[in-house]
A and B are shown apart, each in its own frame.
Chain A
Amino acid sequence: MLKFGLRSRMILLFILVSLGSLMILNNVFQAQQQNIHNAMENLELSSQLRDIQLLTHEDSLRAETIMRDFNGAKAAVNISLTQSRMISGVVLLLVIVASSAVFVIVLSRINKPLTEMKRATEQIRQGNFSVHLPETGIPEMRELKNSFNVMSRELESVQTRLLAAEKEMIWKDLSRILAHEIKNPLTPIQLAIQRLEERLGSDPEHAKDILPESIAIITQEIENLRLLAQDFSSFAKITQPSIEKFDPTTSIREIIKSYTADYAIHTDLAESTLISFDRTHFYQIVTNILQNAIDASEADRPIWIKLFKERSFVVISIRDEGSGIEPQDLHRIFEPYFSRKSKGTGLGLALVKKLCDSNSAIIRVKSKPMEGSEFTVIIENQAV
């Protein structure tokens, strides 16, 4: 179906109104001229005069003169009629050509800046606020472009301020979390060392009795610090996925081996499935979600891991009966540094989301406070 924009409508209106009127006028004029021409053709005097019986030679001469004058005048009038019809046609053609040229020039002077503005608006929509229009053309267009440029400069300035504020906020959050997380293990280390110092000072003979316990505390907290550093490092540098085909059921069974002794993990895993995924990333995703489920649940509460095929996808679901997530927090759980736990960096689920995205997988979560949460990962089934 034909779409008529502003330019097309203007051209059509111009053609219909002005050119149409000119052509109607011309047709009327031409018709009148043709009528006169036909009337002239029907005028005939010479043959009639020649048929009249003239009495004298002077009469004949006079009649001859009359006929000559009449014929000459008739020829001149016919030629004039022909000239006027031709001239009106030529003038109309020239008027149409000239007015169309002027019209096209004026239209392009309006159309070109509008097209420029449309492109510039598109760039702003895509987030490029540095676009500016040259302030040229007719005065109205210059004013419009000037207003546009002022607007884009202000948007650019606002964007710069927003980016700076966002960066500052991120650094503040990061600093707060780091300070908190580093302080936590440092306190028990300090306490253990202080206890050793006191015992060495007051009862050096029995100082070695508390040495194993102190070493264990210090070692554990150093390990926690190392894990903290590892968490930040993992989140910061997510490598390009190295895709390989493997059976996810086998991988999940390997992952849960170290957990089944201490936790009630129940599985329902379909056989003969195949996914194209980065094996390390898959390991990290499942481990992080499982660890979250363990952290949210009490010691004896079950955790369900299910793997099944649905249409052309493999679906992995990890469900717990823990504390659940408040509805107002659900949309934020994949944000970096967001956590309602007393300890942790808040990077675990953010890492899971990033790994899913880089491997073209989908992650979803359902949760009810005090009832538990279910995390679902959907991956394309390569065995189909």
Chain B
Amino acid sequence: MFEALGSKLLAGVVSLSMLLFSTYTGNDPKLSGIRHTSSDSYIHLEANLISAFENDFPSIFTSGTTIPVQYQLTFKSGNRTVINRTYTNSVTFDPGKGTYEIRRAGTADAFFTRSYEEMLAVVSLFKVSVPYQVAWGTVHVKLESSLPTVSFAQVDKAVDLMILWKYKKPSAKTQIDLRKIF
């Protein structure tokens, strides 16, 4: 609870100071609403990151270092947390070939493209299938996205990429009655 409060406070201070005293615009990431379907014993979830990589990211994605984008998924039934998993989409640029290799969460495949826009579209898409139990009843679903700390080998420096999101973690919530979707 204190961690969440602390992160909100940090995000607030950073936003205010950048609004008042900095020319740096940064990014204001948001998550679209969570879309869900079901089949067999799986519930399929989809969401998109919006306006997350508009400023300063081209040089980050083309650095050659693997850049992960994390998605934290939580299912709560009443007060009980029934699912708490982290999924990661990652991007690695090959400067020799000029291609982006994207690995999507929940799949073993890699997707390759030379197009920066296409790469962004794929890495911004959250698409997973999760097994569920009808006994959970109505669940509160929360999806939160974040960026980790990465190390740039060339300069031996670890950097918290959340700085590019002004330390704000975009999130989306929804409620699903598992008894009705079956």
A residues near B, CB below 8 A? 23, 26, 30-31, 33-34, 40-41, 46-47, 50, 60, 63-64, 67-69, 71-80, 82-83, 85-86, 88-90, 92-94
Known: A23-B21, A46-B95. 20 other contacts (CB 8 A): A30-B24, A67-B64, A68-B96, A71-B59, A71-B63, A72-B153, A73-B152, A73-B154, A75-B60, A75-B63, A75-B65, A76-B159, A78-B56, A78-B59, A82-B24, A85-B24, A89-B21, A89-B24, A92-B21, A93-B21
Are A93 and B93 also in contact (CB < 8 A) when A88-B21, A88-B22 are?
no
Q: Are B63 and A85 in contact (CB under 8 A)?
A: no
B residues near A, CB below 8 A? 13-14, 16-18, 20-24, 26, 56, 59-60, 62-65, 93, 95-96, 98, 152-155, 157, 159, 161, 163-164, 166
- Cα A86 to Cα B160 in complex, Å, equals 13
Q: Are A40 and B22 in contact (CB under 8 A)?
A: no
Shortest Cβ distance from residue B117 to the other chain A in the assembled complex, whole angstroms: 17
- Cα A72 to Cα B153 in complex, Å, equals 8
Residues from chain A with Cβ under 8 Å of B64 in the complex: 67-68, 71-72
Name B62's closest neighbour in chain A (CB-CB): A71
Pairs A–B under 8 Å by Cβ, sample size 6:
A33-B24, A76-B63, A79-B152, A83-B163, A86-B163, A89-B21
Are A76 and B17 also in contact (CB < 8 A) when A71-B64, A82-B164, A86-B163 are?
no
Q: Are A79 and B96 in contact (CB under 8 A)?
A: no
Residues from chain A with Cβ under 8 Å of B56 in the complex: 78-79, 82
Q: Are A67 and B18 in contact (CB under 8 A)?
A: no
Are A72 and B96 also in contact (CB < 8 A) when A85-B22, A93-B17 are?
no
Inter-chain CB contacts under 8 Å: number:
113
Helix, strand, loop or mixed for chain A's interface?
helix
- Cα A79 to Cα B14 in complex, Å, equals 16
- Cα A116 to Cα B13 in complex, Å, equals 38
- Cα A83 to Cα B166 in complex, Å, equals 10
Residues from chain A with Cβ under 8 Å of B20 in the complex: 89, 93
Of B17, B155, B164, B166, which contacts A72 at CB under 8 A? B155
Are A68 and B22 also in contact (CB < 8 A) when A75-B62, A86-B163 are?
no
Shortest Cβ distance from residue B123 to the other chain A in the assembled complex, whole angstroms: 16
- Cα A46 to Cα B94 in complex, Å, equals 10
Shortest Cβ distance from residue A27 to the other chain B in the assembled complex, whole angstroms: 8
Residues from chain A with Cβ under 8 Å of B96 in the complex: 50, 60, 63-64, 67-68
Shortest Cβ distance from residue B21 to the other chain A in the assembled complex, whole angstroms: 4
- Cα A72 to Cα B96 in complex, Å, equals 13
Q: Are B155 and A76 in contact (CB under 8 A)?
A: yes
Residues from chain B with Cβ under 8 Å of A72 in the complex: 63-65, 152-155
Residues from chain A with Cβ under 8 Å of B17 in the complex: 86, 89-90, 92-93
Name B157's closest neighbour in chain A (CB-CB): A76
Q: Are A89 and B63 in contact (CB under 8 A)?
A: no
Q: Are A86 and B152 in contact (CB under 8 A)?
A: no
Residues from chain A with Cβ under 8 Å of B166 in the complex: 86
- Cα A7 to Cα B166 in complex, Å, equals 38
Q: Of residues B20, B24, B26, which shows the largest number of chain A Cβ atoms within 10 Å of its Cβ?
A: B24
The 8 closest A-B pairs by CB, nearest first: A75-B63, A64-B96, A67-B95, A72-B154, A89-B22, A93-B17, A89-B17, A68-B64
Residues from chain B with Cβ under 8 Å of A41 in the complex: 59
Of B21, B93, B95, B153, which contacts A26 at CB under 8 A? B21
- Cα A310 to Cα B177 in complex, Å, equals 94
Of A34, A67, A74, which contacts B23 at CB under 8 A? A34
- Cα A153 to Cα B177 in complex, Å, equals 81
Q: Are B152 and A75 in contact (CB under 8 A)?
A: yes
Shortest Cβ distance from residue A20 to the other chain B in the assembled complex, whole angstroms: 13
Q: Are B59 and A40 in contact (CB under 8 A)?
A: yes
Q: Are A76 and B154 in contact (CB under 8 A)?
A: yes
Q: Are B23 and A46 in contact (CB under 8 A)?
A: no
Shortest Cβ distance from residue A46 to the other chain B in the assembled complex, whole angstroms: 5
Residues from chain A with Cβ under 8 Å of B65 in the complex: 72, 75
Residues from chain A with Cβ under 8 Å of B153 in the complex: 72
Shortest Cβ distance from residue A149 to the other chain B in the assembled complex, whole angstroms: 47
Residues from chain B with Cβ under 8 Å of A60 in the complex: 96
Name B98's closest neighbour in chain A (CB-CB): A50
Q: Of residues B23, B59, B65, which shows the largest number of chain A Cβ atoms within 10 Å of its Cβ?
A: B59
- Cα A277 to Cα B64 in complex, Å, equals 105
Residues from chain B with Cβ under 8 Å of A82 in the complex: 24, 26, 56, 163-164
